[in-house]
Structure 1
Amino acid sequence: MDQAIVAGVSAVGGTVIGALGAVFGPLLAQRRTQDHERRTLTDRDVREALEITAHLRTAGAMWERDMRRVLRDIRVGRSVDLREFDDSMRSLEQEMRQSVNRLVAYRLHVSRQVSGRVFLPMGRAEDMLREAISDAHGSPDALWREIADAIREVWSIRHELDEVLVQEISTAFGATMTTPPHRFRRSA
Protein backbone atom coordinates (compact mmCIF):
# COMPACT_ATOMS: atom_id res chain seq x y z
CA MET A 1 0.00 0.00 0.00
CA ASP A 2 2.88 2.33 0.62
CA GLN A 3 3.90 1.85 -2.95
CA ALA A 4 0.39 2.59 -4.13
CA ILE A 5 0.30 5.83 -2.11
CA VAL A 6 3.72 6.82 -3.39
CA ALA A 7 2.63 6.00 -6.93
CA GLY A 8 -0.58 8.00 -6.46
CA VAL A 9 1.28 10.97 -5.00
CA SER A 10 3.80 10.75 -7.80
CA ALA A 11 1.02 10.62 -10.39
CA VAL A 12 -0.72 13.62 -8.81
CA GLY A 13 2.61 15.43 -8.52
CA GLY A 14 3.41 14.66 -12.14
CA THR A 15 -0.02 15.87 -13.20
CA VAL A 16 0.37 19.10 -11.22
CA ILE A 17 3.86 19.69 -12.63
CA GLY A 18 2.57 18.94 -16.14
CA ALA A 19 -0.36 21.31 -15.67
CA LEU A 20 1.87 24.04 -14.32
CA GLY A 21 4.26 23.50 -17.22
CA ALA A 22 1.37 23.70 -19.67
CA VAL A 23 0.24 27.01 -18.16
CA PHE A 24 3.54 28.64 -17.27
CA GLY A 25 5.62 27.30 -20.16
CA PRO A 26 3.83 29.39 -22.79
CA LEU A 27 3.73 32.37 -20.40
CA LEU A 28 7.48 32.10 -19.90
CA ALA A 29 8.04 31.81 -23.65
CA GLN A 30 5.78 34.81 -24.24
CA ARG A 31 7.64 36.82 -21.61
CA ARG A 32 10.99 35.95 -23.21
CA THR A 33 9.63 37.07 -26.57
CA GLN A 34 8.34 40.33 -25.09
CA ASP A 35 11.67 40.96 -23.35
CA HIS A 36 13.46 40.39 -26.64
CA GLU A 37 11.01 42.71 -28.45
CA ARG A 38 11.46 45.34 -25.73
CA ARG A 39 15.24 45.05 -26.06
CA THR A 40 14.97 45.27 -29.87
CA LEU A 41 12.65 48.27 -29.61
CA THR A 42 15.11 50.00 -27.31
CA ASP A 43 17.96 49.36 -29.74
CA ARG A 44 15.81 50.75 -32.55
CA ASP A 45 14.84 53.75 -30.41
CA VAL A 46 18.47 54.54 -29.70
CA ARG A 47 19.30 54.29 -33.39
CA GLU A 48 16.36 56.52 -34.38
CA ALA A 49 17.13 59.06 -31.65
CA LEU A 50 20.73 59.20 -32.85
CA GLU A 51 19.58 59.69 -36.45
CA ILE A 52 17.28 62.53 -35.40
CA THR A 53 20.08 64.06 -33.34
CA ALA A 54 22.40 63.83 -36.36
CA HIS A 55 19.73 65.51 -38.50
CA LEU A 56 19.38 68.28 -35.92
CA ARG A 57 23.15 68.78 -35.80
CA THR A 58 23.43 68.77 -39.59
CA ALA A 59 20.68 71.37 -40.00
CA GLY A 60 22.40 73.54 -37.38
CA ALA A 61 25.74 73.21 -39.15
CA MET A 62 24.11 74.10 -42.48
CA TRP A 63 22.51 77.14 -40.86
CA GLU A 64 25.91 78.28 -39.63
CA ARG A 65 27.53 77.59 -43.01
CA ASP A 66 24.85 79.58 -44.86
CA MET A 67 25.09 82.47 -42.41
CA ARG A 68 28.87 82.64 -42.80
CA ARG A 69 28.63 82.38 -46.59
CA VAL A 70 26.09 85.22 -46.80
CA LEU A 71 28.19 87.32 -44.44
CA ARG A 72 31.28 86.78 -46.63
CA ASP A 73 29.31 87.52 -49.80
CA ILE A 74 28.05 90.84 -48.45
CA ARG A 75 31.49 91.83 -47.17
CA VAL A 76 33.06 91.32 -50.62
CA GLY A 77 30.24 93.16 -52.37
CA ARG A 78 28.25 90.26 -53.84
CA SER A 79 24.52 90.77 -53.89
CA VAL A 80 22.41 88.49 -51.76
CA ASP A 81 18.75 87.83 -52.49
CA LEU A 82 16.86 88.51 -49.25
CA ARG A 83 14.00 86.18 -50.21
CA GLU A 84 16.40 83.26 -50.85
CA PHE A 85 18.16 83.99 -47.57
CA ASP A 86 14.85 84.00 -45.67
CA ASP A 87 13.65 80.80 -47.38
CA SER A 88 16.90 79.01 -46.57
CA MET A 89 16.94 80.13 -42.94
CA ARG A 90 13.25 79.31 -42.45
CA SER A 91 13.73 75.84 -43.92
CA LEU A 92 16.75 75.03 -41.75
CA GLU A 93 15.10 76.36 -38.62
CA GLN A 94 11.99 74.31 -39.38
CA GLU A 95 14.12 71.17 -39.81
CA MET A 96 15.74 71.82 -36.45
CA ARG A 97 12.43 72.43 -34.69
CA GLN A 98 10.92 69.28 -36.19
CA SER A 99 13.92 67.26 -35.04
CA VAL A 100 13.58 68.63 -31.52
CA ASN A 101 9.87 67.79 -31.50
CA ARG A 102 10.58 64.25 -32.75
CA LEU A 103 13.13 63.72 -29.96
CA VAL A 104 10.41 64.26 -27.36
CA ALA A 105 8.81 60.99 -28.55
CA TYR A 106 11.93 59.21 -27.27
CA ARG A 107 11.66 60.77 -23.81
CA LEU A 108 14.35 63.29 -24.68
CA HIS A 109 12.96 66.51 -23.26
CA VAL A 110 15.27 69.18 -24.61
CA SER A 111 12.73 71.41 -26.34
CA ARG A 112 12.75 74.20 -23.73
CA GLN A 113 16.51 74.24 -23.62
CA VAL A 114 16.70 74.32 -27.41
CA SER A 115 14.14 77.04 -27.98
CA GLY A 116 15.56 79.30 -25.31
CA ARG A 117 19.22 78.62 -25.95
CA VAL A 118 19.45 78.11 -29.72
CA PHE A 119 16.51 79.55 -31.62
CA LEU A 120 16.49 83.01 -30.02
CA PRO A 121 20.19 83.73 -30.81
CA MET A 122 19.66 82.28 -34.28
CA GLY A 123 16.78 84.69 -34.89
CA ARG A 124 18.83 87.61 -33.58
CA ALA A 125 21.75 86.73 -35.89
CA GLU A 126 19.39 86.35 -38.85
CA ASP A 127 17.78 89.74 -38.13
CA MET A 128 21.17 91.45 -38.04
CA LEU A 129 22.20 89.76 -41.28
CA ARG A 130 18.91 90.78 -42.91
CA GLU A 131 19.68 94.38 -41.93
CA ALA A 132 23.13 94.04 -43.51
CA ILE A 133 21.64 92.50 -46.68
CA SER A 134 19.14 95.36 -46.99
CA ASP A 135 21.83 98.00 -46.60
CA ALA A 136 25.13 96.29 -47.43
CA HIS A 137 27.01 99.51 -48.17
CA GLY A 138 25.70 101.44 -45.17
CA SER A 139 26.30 98.72 -42.60
CA PRO A 140 28.86 99.80 -40.02
CA ASP A 141 31.81 97.59 -39.10
CA ALA A 142 30.28 97.17 -35.66
CA LEU A 143 27.31 95.36 -37.23
CA TRP A 144 29.69 92.96 -39.02
CA ARG A 145 31.36 92.16 -35.72
CA GLU A 146 28.00 91.72 -33.98
CA ILE A 147 26.84 89.31 -36.68
CA ALA A 148 30.07 87.29 -36.45
CA ASP A 149 29.75 87.23 -32.64
CA ALA A 150 26.12 86.11 -32.89
CA ILE A 151 27.06 83.27 -35.25
CA ARG A 152 29.82 82.17 -32.85
CA GLU A 153 27.35 82.31 -29.96
CA VAL A 154 24.99 79.98 -31.84
CA TRP A 155 27.92 77.65 -32.62
CA SER A 156 28.79 77.50 -28.93
CA ILE A 157 25.18 76.91 -27.89
CA ARG A 158 24.78 74.16 -30.51
CA HIS A 159 27.72 72.32 -28.95
CA GLU A 160 26.25 72.74 -25.48
CA LEU A 161 23.08 71.21 -26.94
CA ASP A 162 25.13 68.28 -28.26
CA GLU A 163 26.31 67.59 -24.73
CA VAL A 164 22.74 67.85 -23.39
CA LEU A 165 21.47 65.46 -26.07
CA VAL A 166 24.22 62.94 -25.40
CA GLN A 167 23.42 63.08 -21.68
CA GLU A 168 19.68 62.73 -22.36
CA ILE A 169 20.20 59.77 -24.71
CA SER A 170 22.61 58.14 -22.26
CA THR A 171 20.14 58.54 -19.40
CA ALA A 172 17.01 57.57 -21.34
CA PHE A 173 18.49 54.45 -22.91
CA GLY A 174 21.16 53.50 -20.41
CA ALA A 175 23.80 53.90 -23.10
CA THR A 176 27.27 55.25 -22.56
CA MET A 177 27.99 57.94 -25.10
CA THR A 178 30.42 60.79 -25.45
CA THR A 179 30.28 64.03 -27.40
CA PRO A 180 32.73 64.62 -30.21
CA PRO A 181 35.56 67.00 -29.39
CA HIS A 182 34.78 70.56 -30.41
CA ARG A 183 37.16 72.13 -32.83
CA PHE A 184 38.26 75.69 -32.43
CA ARG A 185 36.40 77.91 -34.88
CA ARG A 186 37.97 80.81 -36.65
CA SER A 187 36.13 84.10 -36.59
CA ALA A 188 33.60 84.75 -39.37
Structure 2
Amino acid sequence: MAEEEYQDESGYKGATQISLQEALATDTSDESLNRYKSALVAAQDVTASPDGRRVVIEALVVHFPDGDREPETFPCATEDQLVELSNRDLLFSVQEGSTMQIEVVYKVYEDIVMGFSYLNLVYKGPARLIKQQQMIGCFAPKAESYRYTLPPVTMPSGFLLRGKYRAKTKFVDDDKNTHLEMEYTFKIVK
Protein backbone atom coordinates (compact mmCIF):
# COMPACT_ATOMS: atom_id res chain seq x y z
CA MET A 1 0.00 0.00 0.00
CA ALA A 2 1.52 3.31 -1.02
CA GLU A 3 1.05 6.10 1.46
CA GLU A 4 0.54 9.64 0.28
CA GLU A 5 2.25 12.40 2.18
CA TYR A 6 0.66 15.54 3.42
CA GLN A 7 1.99 18.67 5.05
CA ASP A 8 0.01 20.58 7.64
CA GLU A 9 0.23 24.30 8.38
CA SER A 10 3.04 23.75 10.92
CA GLY A 11 5.24 22.10 8.30
CA TYR A 12 4.85 18.57 9.69
CA LYS A 13 5.01 15.96 6.97
CA GLY A 14 3.43 12.59 7.55
CA ALA A 15 1.38 9.80 6.08
CA THR A 16 -2.30 10.35 5.42
CA GLN A 17 -4.78 8.79 7.77
CA ILE A 18 -5.77 5.22 6.91
CA SER A 19 -8.90 3.31 7.88
CA LEU A 20 -9.05 0.83 10.75
CA GLN A 21 -9.32 -2.08 8.33
CA GLU A 22 -6.19 -0.93 6.45
CA ALA A 23 -4.27 -0.55 9.72
CA LEU A 24 -5.24 -4.07 10.81
CA ALA A 25 -4.09 -5.49 7.47
CA THR A 26 -0.59 -3.96 7.65
CA ASP A 27 2.50 -5.54 9.27
CA THR A 28 0.72 -8.84 9.96
CA SER A 29 4.06 -10.63 10.49
CA ASP A 30 4.90 -8.52 13.58
CA GLU A 31 3.51 -10.53 16.51
CA SER A 32 3.93 -7.73 19.06
CA LEU A 33 2.17 -5.20 16.82
CA ASN A 34 -0.66 -7.69 16.16
CA ARG A 35 -1.23 -8.09 19.93
CA TYR A 36 -1.30 -4.29 20.32
CA LYS A 37 -3.78 -3.88 17.45
CA SER A 38 -5.97 -6.66 18.88
CA ALA A 39 -6.06 -4.92 22.26
CA LEU A 40 -7.06 -1.65 20.60
CA VAL A 41 -9.97 -3.14 18.70
CA ALA A 42 -11.26 -5.53 21.39
CA ALA A 43 -15.03 -5.22 21.83
CA GLN A 44 -15.23 -2.42 19.30
CA ASP A 45 -18.25 -0.96 17.62
CA VAL A 46 -17.04 0.13 14.18
CA THR A 47 -20.36 1.54 13.08
CA ALA A 48 -20.53 5.18 12.12
CA SER A 49 -21.97 7.77 14.47
CA PRO A 50 -25.45 9.03 13.63
CA ASP A 51 -24.02 12.28 12.23
CA GLY A 52 -20.73 10.98 10.78
CA ARG A 53 -18.37 12.26 13.50
CA ARG A 54 -15.50 10.00 14.67
CA VAL A 55 -15.54 11.27 18.25
CA VAL A 56 -18.67 12.55 19.97
CA ILE A 57 -18.20 14.42 23.24
CA GLU A 58 -21.40 13.43 25.01
CA ALA A 59 -21.04 15.51 28.17
CA LEU A 60 -18.75 17.55 30.37
CA VAL A 61 -19.18 16.90 34.10
CA VAL A 62 -17.81 19.47 36.54
CA HIS A 63 -16.85 17.94 39.90
CA PHE A 64 -16.25 19.97 43.08
CA PRO A 65 -14.17 17.65 45.30
CA ASP A 66 -13.65 20.21 48.12
CA GLY A 67 -17.22 20.42 49.31
CA ASP A 68 -20.56 18.70 49.49
CA ARG A 69 -21.69 20.15 46.16
CA GLU A 70 -23.04 17.69 43.61
CA PRO A 71 -21.34 17.48 40.18
CA GLU A 72 -22.95 19.47 37.37
CA THR A 73 -23.44 17.70 34.03
CA PHE A 74 -23.54 19.60 30.76
CA PRO A 75 -24.66 17.51 27.74
CA CYS A 76 -22.92 18.58 24.51
CA ALA A 77 -23.44 15.74 22.02
CA THR A 78 -25.65 17.70 19.63
CA GLU A 79 -25.34 21.08 17.96
CA ASP A 80 -28.49 22.26 19.80
CA GLN A 81 -26.94 21.36 23.17
CA LEU A 82 -23.73 23.21 22.29
CA VAL A 83 -25.65 26.32 21.24
CA GLU A 84 -27.64 26.20 24.49
CA LEU A 85 -24.45 25.96 26.58
CA SER A 86 -22.75 28.76 24.64
CA ASN A 87 -25.79 31.04 24.92
CA ARG A 88 -26.05 30.75 28.70
CA ASP A 89 -24.98 33.91 30.45
CA LEU A 90 -23.28 31.79 33.13
CA LEU A 91 -22.60 28.05 32.99
CA PHE A 92 -21.62 27.59 36.64
CA SER A 93 -20.15 29.34 39.69
CA VAL A 94 -17.27 28.13 41.80
CA GLN A 95 -15.96 29.38 45.12
CA GLU A 96 -12.58 31.12 45.21
CA GLY A 97 -9.75 28.88 46.42
CA SER A 98 -11.77 25.71 45.84
CA THR A 99 -10.86 22.87 43.52
CA MET A 100 -12.79 21.67 40.50
CA GLN A 101 -12.27 18.86 38.00
CA ILE A 102 -13.80 18.32 34.58
CA GLU A 103 -14.74 14.82 33.50
CA VAL A 104 -15.15 14.22 29.77
CA VAL A 105 -17.66 11.60 28.58
CA TYR A 106 -17.13 10.67 24.92
CA LYS A 107 -17.65 7.91 22.39
CA VAL A 108 -15.31 6.87 19.57
CA TYR A 109 -16.80 5.58 16.31
CA GLU A 110 -15.46 3.80 13.25
CA ASP A 111 -11.66 4.40 13.45
CA ILE A 112 -8.93 4.58 16.08
CA VAL A 113 -8.34 8.13 17.32
CA MET A 114 -4.68 8.93 17.95
CA GLY A 115 -3.46 11.69 20.24
CA PHE A 116 -6.88 12.79 21.50
CA SER A 117 -6.25 15.91 23.59
CA TYR A 118 -7.89 18.80 25.44
CA LEU A 119 -7.07 22.48 25.15
CA ASN A 120 -8.65 25.11 27.40
CA LEU A 121 -8.01 28.86 27.36
CA VAL A 122 -9.42 31.00 30.17
CA TYR A 123 -9.86 34.79 29.85
CA LYS A 124 -10.87 37.54 32.24
CA GLY A 125 -11.84 40.43 30.06
CA PRO A 126 -9.43 40.58 27.12
CA ALA A 127 -6.50 39.02 29.03
CA ARG A 128 -5.76 35.32 28.72
CA LEU A 129 -4.94 34.01 32.18
CA ILE A 130 -4.73 30.24 31.80
CA LYS A 131 -3.77 27.85 29.02
CA GLN A 132 -4.37 24.17 29.84
CA GLN A 133 -3.35 21.35 27.53
CA GLN A 134 -3.89 17.70 28.38
CA MET A 135 -3.14 14.63 26.28
CA ILE A 136 -5.97 12.17 26.89
CA GLY A 137 -4.70 9.28 24.76
CA CYS A 138 -5.41 6.95 21.85
CA PHE A 139 -8.75 5.16 21.65
CA ALA A 140 -10.39 2.46 19.59
CA PRO A 141 -14.06 2.55 18.67
CA LYS A 142 -16.38 0.73 21.07
CA ALA A 143 -20.02 0.61 22.04
CA GLU A 144 -19.54 2.04 25.54
CA SER A 145 -18.58 5.61 26.32
CA TYR A 146 -15.12 6.49 27.55
CA ARG A 147 -14.66 8.70 30.63
CA TYR A 148 -11.60 10.77 31.41
CA THR A 149 -11.15 13.08 34.39
CA LEU A 150 -8.81 15.99 33.82
CA PRO A 151 -6.36 17.03 36.56
CA PRO A 152 -7.84 19.21 39.33
CA VAL A 153 -7.67 22.98 39.04
CA THR A 154 -7.58 25.27 42.08
CA MET A 155 -9.48 28.51 41.63
CA PRO A 156 -7.60 31.73 42.40
CA SER A 157 -8.50 33.76 45.52
CA GLY A 158 -8.75 37.45 46.19
CA PHE A 159 -10.94 40.43 45.49
CA LEU A 160 -9.40 41.20 42.09
CA LEU A 161 -9.75 37.63 40.86
CA ARG A 162 -13.44 37.20 41.63
CA GLY A 163 -15.91 37.68 38.82
CA LYS A 164 -16.80 36.32 35.39
CA TYR A 165 -14.39 34.34 33.23
CA ARG A 166 -14.73 33.21 29.64
CA ALA A 167 -13.34 29.81 28.58
CA LYS A 168 -12.65 28.41 25.12
CA THR A 169 -12.46 24.62 25.09
CA LYS A 170 -11.33 22.43 22.21
CA PHE A 171 -10.83 18.68 21.74
CA VAL A 172 -8.48 17.69 18.89
CA ASP A 173 -6.45 14.71 17.70
CA ASP A 174 -3.06 14.16 16.05
CA ASP A 175 -4.64 14.44 12.60
CA LYS A 176 -5.69 18.03 13.43
CA ASN A 177 -9.39 17.08 13.56
CA THR A 178 -11.43 19.24 15.93
CA HIS A 179 -14.01 17.06 17.68
CA LEU A 180 -15.55 19.79 19.83
CA GLU A 181 -15.07 23.51 20.15
CA MET A 182 -17.10 25.55 22.59
CA GLU A 183 -17.09 28.75 24.63
CA TYR A 184 -18.72 29.26 28.01
CA THR A 185 -18.62 31.58 31.01
CA PHE A 186 -18.19 30.79 34.68
CA LYS A 187 -17.89 32.90 37.80
CA ILE A 188 -15.53 32.80 40.76
CA VAL A 189 -17.42 33.88 43.89
CA LYS A 190 -16.48 34.60 47.54
Alignment TM-score, normalising by the size of structure 1: 0.28
Specify which structure has the higher proportion of helix: 1
Specify which structure has the higher proportion of strand: 2
The structure whose Rg is larger is 1
